[in-house]
Structure 1
Amino acid sequence: MIRRLLVAHRGEIARRVFATCRLVGIETVAVYSDADADAPHVTEADYAVHLPGNSPSSTYLRGDLIIAAARRAGANAVHPGNGVMAEDPDFAAAVVDAGMIWVGPPAKILGTLHSKIESKARVAEAGVRVLPTHTDPAQVTDFPVLIKPAIGGGGTGMRVVRDRVTLAEAVATTRQEVGSDVFCEPYVEDARHIEIPILADAHGNVVPFGERECSVQRRYQKIVEETPSPAVDPALREELCRAAIVSVKVLGFVGVGTVEFLLDAAGDFHFLELTPSLQVEHAITECVSGYDLVRLQFLIAEGGPLPMPGPPPIRGHAIEVRICAEDPAYAWLPAAGTLHRFAVPDVAGSFRPLPQPGLRLDAGVTDGSVVGAHHDPMLAKLVAWAPTRPEAARMLGSALARAQLHGVVTNRDLLVRVLRHPSFRMGEVDTGFLDRHPEVFAPLLSSVDAVRISCLAAALAGAAGRRSSARVLHSLPSGWRNVPSGSQTSVYDGPAGPVEVGYRMNRHGELAGWWVRAVDPEELDLAGLGQEPTIDDHPPTTVVYASRDKVALDVSGIRLTFHVHRVGEVSYVDSPEGSVTLREVPRFPLPAPEAAEGSLIAPLPGAVRRVLVVPGQRVRAGELLLTLEAMKLEHPVHAPSAGVVASVPVHPGAEVDTGELLAVLDPE
């Protein structure tokens, strides 16, 4: 029996496992890196063991340190979470050799699944359709093809090649990136990614849990999942489940896993792989089935039989989105920093199956969490469970739009636009959804009037905050002076650049006029600003009330409430119109050091992975100079123009921060 369990992971999956442990009476042990010392999963565990360092390779991916931590804490079982360690046969074997219970598939099975090529071959022999596999690029005759690592997952290293000319170079590059063998298979355009969550115990029982649609992806990684799939009818579901059962049995799988398929436009499906871990999207399966999958993991690990005779009935519809610290509009650039506020409204529960339809939030962060560059950018997953698909999409989109996510850039706006898109509402999704619909990359707060009124709210909240904290005469109206027609102005750096916000109050403290105008950043002269434009083109506006954190405005007869959260010089403004971040420009800014011409700086914190040039080398425009590794992704740094490399002050393995100098290029 499992008495005390160590979770060899962090973030939301560790919190998820701990929640079931508390429910069934199992003591919990967390492990944590230096940066995670105050993380939620650490504070929630009964015991916690420090793993010195920050990078995953020196902490969470060190099996020897994790087993030593389990021994020190008196744990008799280890749960690997859902990352790399969950699929590592050597780690699984080491846990068992240490006399502890391994909550996952046996090491021998993981060894088989470790190779996608071997897994596909064995499944094909059992009669399940698979895509042709080529380990030698010379064998490829038809294009396009998808290059995939033979080991590992998560979309890392995958790339599409559409002609023979670039195939050999792409294969070599992928091998170098992933550090393992690769293979090629036909690339199916605009296919659907369908997966079958499946449970198998040591007594021969194999139970599929319906299907999940995971087709909305970026960089071959899922961002929206749902169950059931709008493209799968009962007959196709039966075929998929039957193929999943055959795959599990031929591979000898035991545990909780996922059989992944590719569904083409003709309705034919092909086996991709069997993922031997609890997937991130397991929460939607729990919603529609009513079963706690972590509890069933424990049951299987302890040698017990599955408690259900067959597939559970599907109850309603569930949709999940992955909220990530990344900017979709800028090539999905990950974001790091302090998460000043993380609040989602109307959440019914977290980390466990819900008793009735509603919102479920499984988050690895809370207010004040620091988002670093060492781990993947996922902050949380938000699930809506409703009787029907349209209800679930509407509920989820509304909650996301009203969420307060302050401190780091997230993909929230894109997720809302996907959920509200007519094609998504019709169930017309596939792996090319984002490529076909670039309109979903626009911010929710996109209209000029909505941005302007949010800027006014920020300025009014700032003035109210200053008045409330004034040491003397704080009861006087903001900006009171002998000349009532005088205006108050502030300058903010907004989503489209600097803007000046101005307004004037009458003798009764009422809004007499206001404006918002763009300011040329190269001509920003704060001493000369403040002259009211001769034309007021704002809608009729009345201030209902204004405080440091809330402003209510009547705009053309419609009342809007704005929530303003100010941190230092930054104001986060949330309203029914959307959210905007505004950084107030100081009236007397300190001079900033200027970078030398041709300087290439780090766009985010991370570690230098590859340096491909040396000083004195001549490079072409667009040539790859070096790469940064951050949040489990590799980010290229290209030459902005042709020139000669003057200096490269970094080396592979070096840790860099945002804005740090990476290289200097003398342009031709």
Structure 2
Amino acid sequence: MAELSRVLIANRGEIAVRIVRALRDAGLTSIAVYADPDADAVHTRLADEALALPGTSPAETYLSIEALLDAARRAHADAVHPGYGFLSENADFARAVERAGLTWVGPRAETIEALGNKVRARELAASVGTPLAPGSDGPVESWEDARDFAQEHGLPIAIKAAFGGGGRGLKVARSLDSIESSFIAAQREAEAAFGRGECFVEKFLDRPRHVEAQILADEHGHTVVVGLRDCSLQRRNQKLIEEAPAPFLTAEQEERLRAGAVAVCEAAGYVGAGTVEFLVGEDGTISFLEVNTRLQVEHPVTEETSGVDLVAEQLRIAAGEPLSVSEAPAPRGHALEFRLNAEDAVHGFVPSPGTVTRFEAPTGPGIRMDSGVRTGSEVPGAYDSLMAKLIVVGADRQQALSRARAALDELVIEGVATVVPFDAAVLEHPDFTAEDGFAVHTRWIETDFAEDEAAQERMTDRAAGAVLPAHGGAQLRRFGIEIDGRRREIALPAEALALLAGRSGPAGGAGEGAGGVQSDRAQFGGNGGGAAGGEDSGAQASETAVTSPYAGSFVAFSVSDGDEVEAGQAVAVIEAMKMESEALAPAAGTVRLRDLAKGDEVAAGQVLAELA
């Protein structure tokens, strides 16, 4: 049995904080690592020790095996916990940790390798009788091969990274014309996220639910399904709201899901915590999706409904001890998890990095907050947008929903845009809240919800009260006033308040106020808003300018200089917080591209191209 004493956490943000707390419970020393943008992050403050990783980009820091192992040596660590994301499903990292004489808190490298390859995982699932949607026999060589598959099996098709997970490197093509661009985008995302661009294709089930089984397996032959979760509320294949136990499944479906998960894991010789993901079609068809060989972001809902601490179990397994549970625990109550991402839900869930100027968590029965930020924390644009997770537990689903509404009303996050307005709107939607059924599916957000005007209005109304940086980086300030004996809150730009103060203040203040008028015009008068002082900001953009939807990195142009484009056509691709978005032409015309290279930093509203 391995002796664990000092554990290095090869991750950042809220999952690093979660692991720090589990190590503290176990009486073990926690060692955090951090890149320059995370020097003052919460996980570095809470850990027993924190070591710097030289560099600023993910490739230089959290994705650098050499840098992480060097930190482990400097800290005299005897184990490494990878968390999720980054290198958590990288077999080379697991193997390097073991070669360095350290304990890897996760499945064996060969298991990660076998199941991390989605093609091999499908083959393994087929060998144990798990139902599967049609798919390619292996990675396809070109987009033409993907088109041929679609012509044989029908549309839509999913183009998926063979060595990825978490929705990265996954694109759905719904027409033959879109296959080429979807294939190229999937390859590009896969290469950027996982270092390998191979992709396979499979038939895409329309309107399915996403249901997953949480597995624990030790080296003593015990494999247990701790619980089932529903993770159907997704956008861009990124989960936003999850719950446990998965509602509205038949007893037969639950049994098939549990049996299929155990069969795949036992066939792979699985040891550790992991998740087997399935799609459940409208007709009840169950189709194996993949195995995530790591802890999941949504693991808290299973912990709250099973009574099992999954991180503590990971530590037990890594130490060679048997599981603390010998059979599947009966679910108790119901839990919902809301991912609190720094994304502007109202404007297409675009990334919203920045400073969290105020963070106040809700309290009360059934409330858990797993957070990587607090008031004053920076949310860097180089990393994932997840700031924190709100977990709400009730005696049953309806009580959990009721408590969740109250918790979201009490939650305060200011300074960055969040998905909370979306969460609040979902909790008022009958597709999600009905007591007699479940109408959401993996594309519900982009289809049913997006087309529901009442739901969109609820989301917009909720976002209207948020305190965020205004266009050009101006900060909104909220304060209370009394109207007819009732307290109300209003929000005004800080510059406007300064202007008012300048006009009514002493001599000299008026001059500053006058300057403020010009500043306000520059920042708020533009088409779309941009960074104050930024070259080609939104204020300088015209109706014939193609502008960046947010601050980030330039990826590529989708057209060539001099091309004729239509209104709404994609002209460029921008990336931030591991997400790509398209900059669209506001009108038809001949496009003139600006001089930009891949990796160039761009400001929100910056002009990328102009239309003649």
Cα deviation code 1:170-202 (max 9, x no counterpart): 334433443312222222111111000010111
Aligned equivalents of 2:123, 2:401: Cα separation in 1: 38
The 3-state SS of whatever aligns with 1:392 is: helix
Aligned equivalent of 1:155, options 155, 167, 171? 167
1:7–1:587 Cα change, 3 Å: closer
- More off after superposition, 604-613 vs 27-36: 604-613
Cα distance, 1:162 vs. partner? 3.0
- More off after superposition, 423-432 vs 593-602: 593-602
In structure 2, what is the equivalent of residue 52 of structure 1? 54
The 3-state SS of whatever aligns with 1:589 is: helix
Cα distance, 1:644 vs. partner? 4.2
Q: Is the 8 A contact 1:213 1:225 kept in 2?
A: yes
Aligned equivalents of 2:177, 2:541: Cα separation in 1: 39
Is the counterpart of residue 258 in structure 1 residue 275 in structure 2? yes
> Which residue identity does 1:639 align to in structure 2?
A
Q: Is the 8 A contact 2:361 2:411 kept in 1?
A: yes
Q: Is the 8 A contact 1:210 1:237 kept in 2?
A: no
- More off after superposition, 584-593 vs 64-73: 584-593
Cα distance, 1:34 vs. partner? 1.1
Aligned equivalents of 1:377, 1:21: Cα separation in 2: 25
More helix by share: 2
Is the counterpart of residue 219 in structure 1 residue 236 in structure 2? yes
In structure 2, what is the equivalent of residue 139 of structure 1? 149
Q: Is the 8 A contact 1:328 1:414 kept in 2?
A: yes
Aligned equivalent of 2:257, options 240, 260, 279? 240
- More off after superposition, 51-60 vs 315-324: 51-60
Cα distance, 1:645 vs. partner? 4.5
In structure 2, what is the equivalent of residue 561 of structure 1? 487
> Which residue identity does 2:198 align to in structure 1?
D
- More off after superposition, 207-216 vs 427-436: 427-436
Aligned equivalent of 2:400, options 386, 392, 413? 392
Aligned equivalents of 1:563, 1:4: Cα separation in 2: 49
1:219–1:169 Cα change, 3 Å: closer
Aligned equivalents of 1:214, 1:227: Cα separation in 2: 9
Q: Is the 8 A contact 1:55 1:374 kept in 2?
A: yes
The 3-state SS of whatever aligns with 2:242 is: strand
In structure 2, stretches of 5+ residues that fail to align are: 192-196, 472-476, 498-512, 523-532, 534-538
In structure 1, what is the equivalent of residue 481 of structure 2? 551
> Which residue identity does 1:653 align to in structure 2?
G
Aligned equivalents of 1:605, 1:445: Cα separation in 2: 22
TM-score (norm 2): 0.84
- More off after superposition, 403-412 vs 15-24: 403-412
Cα distance, 1:655 vs. partner? 2.2
Aligned equivalents of 1:177, 1:309: Cα separation in 2: 40
In structure 2, what is the equivalent of residue 325 of structure 1? 342
1:610–1:493 Cα change, 3 Å: closer
The 3-state SS of whatever aligns with 2:131 is: coil
In structure 1, stretches of 5+ residues that fail to align are: 348-356, 459-491, 496-546, 572-583
The 3-state SS of whatever aligns with 2:389 is: strand
Aligned equivalents of 2:92, 2:386: Cα separation in 1: 27
The 3-state SS of whatever aligns with 1:658 is: coil
Q: Is the 8 A contact 1:4 1:75 kept in 2?
A: yes
Q: Is the 8 A contact 2:31 2:47 kept in 1?
A: yes
In structure 2, what is the equivalent of residue 370 of structure 1? 378
Q: Is the 8 A contact 2:470 2:493 kept in 1?
A: no
> Which residue identity does 2:48 align to in structure 1?
D
Q: Is the 8 A contact 1:328 1:441 kept in 2?
A: no
Cα deviation code 1:218-266 (max 9, x no counterpart): 1111111111122223332222111110010112211000000111122
What do you get for the CA RMSD once the two structures are aligned? 2.9
Aligned equivalents of 2:514, 2:361: Cα separation in 1: 29
Q: Is the 8 A contact 1:611 1:652 kept in 2?
A: no
Aligned equivalents of 2:469, 2:389: Cα separation in 1: 31
Aligned equivalents of 1:588, 1:313: Cα separation in 2: 63
Q: Is the 8 A contact 2:554 2:596 kept in 1?
A: yes
Aligned equivalents of 1:443, 1:340: Cα separation in 2: 25
The 3-state SS of whatever aligns with 1:84 is: coil
Aligned equivalents of 2:348, 2:392: Cα separation in 1: 28
Is the counterpart of residue 662 in structure 1 residue 588 in structure 2? no
Aligned equivalent of 1:299, options 316, 319, 333? 316
Q: Is the 8 A contact 2:353 2:380 kept in 1?
A: yes
Aligned equivalent of 2:457, options 442, 445, 464? 442
Instruction: Calculate percent identity across the aligned residue pairs.
Output: 37
Q: Is the 8 A contact 1:493 1:585 kept in 2?
A: no
Cα distance, 1:115 vs. partner? 0.8
1:603–1:444 Cα change, 3 Å: closer
Aligned equivalents of 2:123, 2:496: Cα separation in 1: 56
1:615–1:270 Cα change, 3 Å: closer
The 3-state SS of whatever aligns with 1:294 is: helix
Aligned equivalent of 2:303, options 264, 271, 286? 286
In structure 1, what is the equivalent of residue 505 of structure 2? none
Aligned equivalents of 2:568, 2:478: Cα separation in 1: 47
Is the counterpart of residue 203 in structure 1 residue 220 in structure 2? yes
In structure 2, what is the equivalent of residue 308 of structure 1? 325
Aligned equivalents of 1:268, 1:666: Cα separation in 2: 49
Cα distance, 1:49 vs. partner? 1.1
Aligned equivalents of 2:78, 2:433: Cα separation in 1: 47
In structure 1, what is the equivalent of residue 37 of structure 2? 35
Aligned equivalents of 2:318, 2:401: Cα separation in 1: 36
More strand by share: 1
In structure 1, what is the equivalent of residue 555 of structure 2? 609
How many residues in Structure 1 have an aligned counterpart in Structure 2?
Answer: 551
Is the counterpart of residue 272 in structure 1 residue 218 in structure 2? no
The 3-state SS of whatever aligns with 1:241 is: helix
1:377–1:172 Cα change, 3 Å: closer
- More off after superposition, 33-42 vs 595-604: 595-604
TM-score (norm 1): 0.77
Cα distance, 1:600 vs. partner? 3.7
Aligned equivalent of 1:588, options 517, 534, 549? 517
Cα deviation code 1:423-449 (max 9, x no counterpart): 2112422223322133433345739xx
Aligned equivalents of 2:487, 2:546: Cα separation in 1: 42
Aligned equivalents of 1:168, 1:595: Cα separation in 2: 34
**Within-5 A mapping of 1:423-502:** 423-426=431-434, 427-428=437-438, 429-434=440-445, 435-437=447-449, 438=452, 439-443=454-458, 446=461
> Which residue identity does 1:121 align to in structure 2?
E
Is the counterpart of residue 191 in structure 1 residue 199 in structure 2? no
Q: Is the 8 A contact 1:614 1:648 kept in 2?
A: no
Q: Is the 8 A contact 1:226 1:284 kept in 2?
A: yes
1:322–1:441 Cα change, 3 Å: farther
Cα deviation code 1:545-569 (max 9, x no counterpart): xx99543443xxxx64345688844
Is the counterpart of residue 633 in structure 1 residue 579 in structure 2? yes
Aligned equivalents of 1:613, 1:144: Cα separation in 2: 25
Aligned equivalents of 2:514, 2:283: Cα separation in 1: 56
In structure 2, what is the equivalent of residue 341 of structure 1? 358
- More off after superposition, 649-658 vs 125-134: 649-658
The 3-state SS of whatever aligns with 1:626 is: strand
Is the counterpart of residue 415 in structure 1 residue 423 in structure 2? yes
- More off after superposition, 636-645 vs 438-447: 438-447
1:652–1:231 Cα change, 3 Å: same
Aligned equivalents of 1:384, 1:231: Cα separation in 2: 19
> Which residue identity does 1:423 align to in structure 2?
D
Aligned equivalents of 1:24, 1:383: Cα separation in 2: 23
Aligned equivalents of 1:443, 1:18: Cα separation in 2: 38
Cα distance, 1:298 vs. partner? 0.3
Aligned equivalents of 1:172, 1:318: Cα separation in 2: 38
Aligned equivalents of 1:320, 1:251: Cα separation in 2: 30
